Amino acid sequence: MSTATIRRVAVVGTGVIGASWAACFLSRGLQVAATDPSSGARQRLEHAVMQHWPTLVTAGLASGASLGNLTFHDSLDAALEGAQFVQENGPERIDAKRELFAAIDAATASDVVIASSSSGLLISDVQTACRHPERVVLGHPFNPPHLIPLVEVIGGRLTSETAIRAAIDFYRAIGKRPINPQKEISGHIANRLQAALWREAFHLVSIGAATVQDIDDAIAYGPGLRWAVMGPFANLHLSGGAEGMRHLLEHLGAPIENWWAQLGTPAMTPDLKRMVIDGVDAALAGRKDSDLAAQRDLIILDVLRAKAAASAIP
């Protein structure tokens, strides 16, 4: 199916990620049919979309964008009726995914791409539950999907190139920045990079080398500012001066390797969990999560605008 003809998207699962996806699709002028079996899901979805909408208005709505294009359905089959693209956001358990994908597959036309927001599972392990596994892809967003452009599109062993291309084209058409990693791997790409940083952050807290606030400041007011503009390799290249990456690796390659050897491997013990929770509570004392999220989104929007206007930035 051509991405130009996709006007109706089904959002299956409306938690944090699903609700954000729903808001994103609505802002692009699409009709969104949502479903979630949990109690109170409809009310939570409507509340979340309303919270996201002012930021999306500021970002700029597509022609035809309207909150009135959102419908919620108690049954999966009703939500999937007439769907031209499916974004699944169910529980991160392989048994639940397989059961859900089998039901989605049975209720949709065979040319409809079914994309999973799974943050770590392999599509190859999910798609075999379907009659038409060739149209099943990973469409993993970065939180919050209504604002962050990244989507990781990866096929499983049985996924067709046609489905991968259709998903990439669809996401790009609604303003996303899809990437297509060539190898299935648990956690995909972005989450594995995050996990590497988290591991050392937890390690530094566990050995008393830094507080939670120290670590957040070290990233938010240090490399995080550069990473918001360009990725780690491009930033390393600029750190190498006139000779770029070649000079950087000749002079810092050995020290970097030495730092790798000293990185920690912390265990998620009850004591470490308590230390991190207490540290976050202390660092964010007096601040409301809703205010943090709203201001975060506005700053991200400013960064995205600046990046879009910077012709030299990749």
Q: Helix count (H) and strand count (E) of the chain? A: 13, 8
Could you tell me if 17 and 149 lie in one domain?
A: yes
Q: Which domain holds residue 227?
A: 190-283
Burial (CB count within 10 angstroms: exposed 0-12, middle 13-18, buried 19+), residue 187: middle
In a domain, 304, yes or no: no
Q: Which of residues 132, 151, 179 is at a domain's end?
A: 179
228: in domain: yes
Domain presence at residue 201: yes
Q: 238 and 194 in one domain?
A: yes
CATH code for the domain of 279: 1.10.1040.10
Give the confidence band of 158 by pLDDT, cuts at 50, 70, 90.
very high
Task: Give domain status of residue 116, yes or no.
Answer: yes
One domain, residues 165 and 26: yes
163-219 pLDDT tens trace: 999 999 999 999 999 999 989 999 999 999 999 999 999 999 999 999 999 999 999
State the chain's mean pLDDT as an integer.
96
One domain, residues 137 and 200: no
Task: Note the pTM of the prediction, 2 decimals.
Answer: 0.92
Q: Which residue type is seen at 53?
A: W
Determine, yes or no, domain membership for 41: yes
Q: Which two tokens stand for residue 111?
A: 């040319």
Rounded Cα–Cα distance for residues 87 and 42 (Å): 17
Q: Are 145 and 206 within one domain?
A: no
The answer on 61 and 100 residing in a single domain is yes
Cα–Cα distance, 46 to 43 (Å, whole number): 5
Residue 133 inside a domain? The answer is yes
Which residue among 179, 207, 222 closes a domain?
A: 179
Co-location of 124 and 202 in the same domain? no
Segment 235-282, tens digit of pLDDT: 999 999 999 999 999 999 999 999 999 999 999 999 999 999 999 999
Contact 199/208 with Cβ under 8 angstroms?
no
Number of domains in the chain: 2
Closest listed residue to residue 82, CA positions, set 30, 127, 132: 30
Q: How far apart are CA 124 and CA 29, in angstroms?
A: 32
**In terms of domains, do 65 and 196 share one?**
no
Residue 106: inside a domain: yes
Per cent of the chain over pLDDT 70 is 99
Residues 144 and 213 in one domain: no
For residue 146, the domain's CATH number is: 3.40.50.720
Same domain membership, residue 270 and residue 140 = no
Other beta carbons within 10 angstroms of residue 204's beta carbon come to 19
Q: Do 115 and 253 have their domain in common? A: no
d(CA 3, CA 244): 40
d(CA 122, CA 145): 20
From 255, 268, 261, 283, select the one nearest 203 (Cα to Cα): 268
| 253: three-class secondary structure by DSSP | helix
For residues 67 and 153, membership in a common domain is answered with: yes
For residue 17, how many C-alpha atoms fall within 13 Å in the half-sphere facing its CB? 18
> Nearest 5°: phi and psi at 293?
-65, -45
The reply to whether 301 falls in a domain is: no
Band (pLDDT 50/70/90 cuts) for residue 2 is low
User: What is the band of 5 on the pLDDT scale with cuts at 50, 70, 90?
Assistant: confident
